Structure 1
Amino acid sequence: MLEILERSAIAAGQAILEVYDAGPAVTYKADTSPVTDADHRAERIILADLAAAFPDIPVIAEESVAAGNVPDIAGRRFFLVDPLDGTKEFVDRDIHFTVNIGLIENAEPVAGVVYAPALGVIYAASDGQARKAMVEDGRIAGGWGRIGCRHIPDRAVAVASRRHGSAETVAYLAEQGITECEAIGSSLKFCLLAEGHADLYPRFSRTMEWDTAAGDAILRAAGGETLTVAGQPLAYGKRNQPNDSDFANPWFISRAKPR
């Protein structure tokens, strides 16, 4: 399965780079978030690949959900897809955008791929193992390498959203005594924790499950965890929430291995 997800993410990333080089056409959804032709092209590629390889596994994909296409996932494993995570970065010619494909089983992210096409780097996880590789000309270059979280040091390093910061995030970092924090877009924040370059990712602003599933799968396989502010593992497949929309996440804290 993972090889198929990897190939699909890379193919979607190639389509995204074509639009990136040509200049995207931008429209806005009902929630005022931007969407581009790259989002739609990438999602079509991924959905076609998943339908061909795994016809019995439903797919929850960002742009399809926005169009009202939400398959039944009750009691089943399913994919969560964000074809272009970090659309605002993409539009602004920033390079920190990703393709995210995650597999959910029993409300947990058990496998995932995060591909950053402008950086030429791909992360993947399954069976409790996380790995990283470089991509050149649409192919894996130099082979895969295992990655893992480090134990959180006394002087922890945080990563935070570049565009969705909050007063609560600033307060949390101050409470934890963390003075070093890098702001970065997309699901790459999970990956930086997973490969031991950072230790904490507090997210006290809105995210959706397709934003986090693939990166969370990689972080958990690397030895980390994602917890709600109540200390429970972040769950997936949330429907009919009394205070929020389907698939919306509560605030959470992702972290590397605690001592």
Structure 2
Amino acid sequence: MINHPINRQLLSEVEAIARAAGAAIMDIYSRPIAVTEKADQSPLTQADHAAHHLIEQQLSRLSPLLPVLSEEDTAAFSGADAQSRYWLIDPLDGTKEFIKRNGEFTVNIALIEHGKSVLGVVYAPALEVCYRAAINLGAEKIDAQGQVTQLHVATHHPGSPWRLVGSRSHGGDAMPALLAQLGEHELVPMGSSLKLCLVAEGSADVYPRLGPTSLWDTAAAQCVVEQAGGSVVQLNGDTLSYASTEQLLNPYFLVLGDNQQDWPSLFRAS
């Protein structure tokens, strides 16, 4: 159980865990990468395992009684605690990008309370960039030089091209139809949860996700987006939630800055 409130000390401790996991990943990144397949045919590497074990051990020291749901050991998760809290982690988000060695992979650690991501750290070890946020504390980006920047989503101005970010490895069959409706736009491909973070920092207006993702892919970055003034909503307009872990897959969703458009209606009309 966490014995202190959600504050900058806790955020810094979780960031340190993410950075330690990132160091373990980069140690393996520097060597030949052995790849196996999970039951769903998604790739798995030694780095996934190493980061998982490190994060799990360090979170257990930080909060011994708080359950952990990790992509790499879903069977060990018995549910949220009596206060509806749990850690939700993706030890290596963007394994395909890791294998491609393009740097677009992250460590994701989120704290969930009553279905909401109330603290999130997204660390991209190859880029040495960290995004962090917590409820009532705002969202920040820490670059490779240690410079800290407060994050705010961008406002899209009518008549200017929409700046969209999309998955580098999972485009989705519905994207071409959406793009055709938008007219003039810019589409930036990106891997892992960095897509959400680009919206949070104002580098993109919207990230439509029309393909499969899991709870651990989005939770940490969703906190960053929301604390930067944006939103992550399902196509019906409801906020993406982590209250139920019986279904590990997310519905399709939209990551929105201050876009002045009813994007869910656009999808329902398509």
Structure 2 length-normalised TM: 0.88
8 Å contact kept, 1:158–1:178: no
Shift of residue 143, structure 1, vs aligned partner: 4.3
- Any conservation in 2 of the 1:124–1:132 contact (CA below 8 Å)? yes
Within 2, Cα distance between the matches of 1:55 and 1:74? Answer: 12
**Number of equivalent positions:** 247
Segment drifting more, 70-79 vs 177-186: 70-79
Picking from 89, 95, 110, the partner of 2:97 is 89
1:99-148 CA distance string (max 9 Å, x none)? 0001111111111000001111000001240001124xxxxx43422111
Structure 1 runs of 4+ off > 6 angstroms? none
Is 1:126 matched up with 2:142? no
What is the CA-CA distance between 1:216 and the residue it aligns to?
A: 0.7
CA contact (8 A) 2:67 2:77 kept: no
Q: Name 1:214's counterpart in structure 2.
A: 220
What TM-score, normalized to structure 1? 0.91
> Following TM superposition, by how much is the alpha carbon of 1:82 offset from its aligned partner in structure 2, in angstroms?
0.3
Query: Match of 1:71?
Result: 78
Mapped to 1, the partners of 2:251 and 2:150 lie a distance apart of 30
Gaps of 5+ in 2: 1-9, 261-270
2:211 maps to 205
Between the aligned partners of 2:208 and 2:117, the Cα distance in structure 1 is 19
1:107 aligns with 2:107: no
SS of match in other structure, 2:51: helix
2:67–2:81: 8 Å Cα contact kept in structure 1?
no
Of residues 177-186 and 5-14 in structure 1, the stretch that sits farther from structure 2 once superposed is: 177-186
- For 2:180 and 2:224, locate their aligned partners in 1 and report how far apart those are by CA, in whole Å: 27
Q: CA deviation at 1:167?
A: 2.4
The answer on whether the counterparts of 1:236 and 1:247 sit within 8 Å (CA) in structure 2 is no
Question: 2: CA distance between counterparts of 1:74 and 1:190?
Answer: 28
> Residue type of the partner of 1:142?
G
Contact 1:157–1:178 (8 Å) recurs in 2: no
Match of 1:8 among 12, 17, 22: 17
The answer to whether the 8 A contact 2:132-2:139 is kept is yes
Q: Residue 227 of structure 1: which of 219, 233, 243 is its match? A: 233
